[in-house]
Copies of this chain bind each other. A is one copy, B any other.
């Protein structure tokens, strides 16, 4: 069993209204040292051992977990402790 950690982020240059809203809220809470906020998804998958694991993970990301038009992704694979 593997734990796959997928990080999905907005591509450079894509506007991030959610990030902007968080930054303004932080500033209103006096955390004005925060210059920029970018919000993405962190997805953990528990995956059984399978042939071509990385190829299938890329397919899952391309088809479902990330929107290739506006998002980038990267992932880390680790042995899962059950």
Binding site for B on A (CB under 8 A): 1, 7-9, 19, 22, 25-26, 29, 31, 33-50, 56, 59-60, 63-65
Q: Are B33 and A44 in contact (CB under 8 A)?
A: no
Q: Which of A22, A42, A63 has the most chain B CB atoms inside 10 A of its CB?
A: A42
Q: Are B43 and A43 in contact (CB under 8 A)?
A: no
Q: Are A42 and B45 in contact (CB under 8 A)?
A: no
User: Within the complex, what minimum Cβ distance (angstroms) separates A40 from chain B?
Assistant: 4
User: Within the complex, what minimum Cβ distance (angstroms) separates A77 from chain B?
Assistant: 13
When C-beta atoms are compared, the residue in chain B nearest to A38 turns out to be B44
Residues of B within 8 A of A35 (CB): 1, 46-48
Residues of B within 8 A of A19 (CB): 43
Q: Are B39 and A41 in contact (CB under 8 A)?
A: yes
